[in-house]
A = this chain, B = another copy of it.
């Protein structure tokens, strides 16, 4: 799918659209649409040298890797001054751009739009809808001028069903949808070094959480299988749901609005509501993660804050504030000023994606 016109989408839509789904779209599109590189370069999918002693084989031996190893050693060494009991070892990870790719457009937005297309046969009236026509024609410019119509289509196509039915819809989509440029399932576009880091933290007594601007219903169906993160440890934006009996069967039905936006200052709020503990490790990649990183750094003991830098045009994408993507601006400054760990995807990772399955 072509990249939508990000500027007009973000800056003009807010005043026009009262619908709560706008908040989701904003979250999903704020980080997207940078005019950056693409494709899977020659260095991609190297999973690193297998080792029985190195828990992070896809991490090159540099400052970032060392800061992780030192931190984990510090907080897990019983009797040491910075020891943290297992119950308090909470690690939080942003999802889009931190655990998997988010370019050229966040994958959840691709899914939402695919649901509009899938619902079209039940909505013959959409044939004359300008947003629907633009979507079918892949006309980004026209889509950008019919945002309100588009959001209404998305709301209609992604609500009304039970959460169980929606869960199955997400599973079905992931089983068949493929990234058009890399020709891989979206769940194969997770970062191999992060899979290793998640596993290493869990093996060190941490509980690993996703804290994402994406919605919980989109991530939960696959977070266990792909990341090893169970549904109860997936924190995100959430669709309002309503309890009811349908034909005598108790179900939760999706309503066409969001009841929580887990982004920016919403992330510490989501952490409070779902965990009730301040994390000791946070990993993000954008200004939407700034408050989560800041909140983690504000704890009373040792903590580790990490910021992924997308600087690898050959193997993934290169985008930061130099690429007109302001979204990385504040978090970047803060990371430099406070000595947080900036992780260069180009220099710190010797693989980006997992090896394709044979």
Contacts and interface: CB of A to CB of B under 8 A. Distances in A.
A232 B269 contact: no
Interface residues of A, number: 35
* Copies of this protein chain in the complex: 2
Contact of A268 (B207, B250, B291): B250
Contacts of A274: 232, 273-274
16 contacts: A87-B224, A216-B273, A216-B276, A231-B275, A232-B274, A232-B276, A242-B265, A242-B269, A243-B266, A243-B268, A243-B291, A250-B297, A250-B298, A251-B298, A273-B274, A274-B274
Contact of A276 (B231, B273, B294): B231
Interface string A232-261: 101000100111110001111000000000
Contacts of A243: 265-266, 268-269, 291, 295
Pairs A-B, 3 closest by C-beta atoms: A231-B276, A250-B298, A243-B265
A272 interface: yes
A230 B243 CA distance: 26
Name the residue among A207, A234, A268 with the largest chain B CB count within 10 angstroms: A268
Interface in A195-249: 207, 216, 220, 224, 230-232, 234, 238, 241-245, 249
Contact of A272 (B87, B230, B252): B252
Contacts of A135: none
Interface of A: 87, 163, 207, 216, 220, 224, 230-232, 234, 238, 241-245, 249-252, 265-266, 268-269, 272-277, 291, 294-295, 297-298
Contacts of A269: 241-243, 252
A277 B241 contact: no
A192 to B, nearest CB: 24
B294 A250 contact: yes
Name the residue among A266, A275, A297 with the largest chain B CB count within 10 angstroms: A275
Nearest to A219: B276
Contact of A250 (B238, B266, B273, B291): B291
A91 to B, nearest CB: 13
Given A241-B269, A243-B268, A243-B291, A220 B252 contact: no
A245 B330 CA distance: 15
A218 to B, nearest CB: 12
A238 B276 CA distance: 12
Contacts of A224: 87
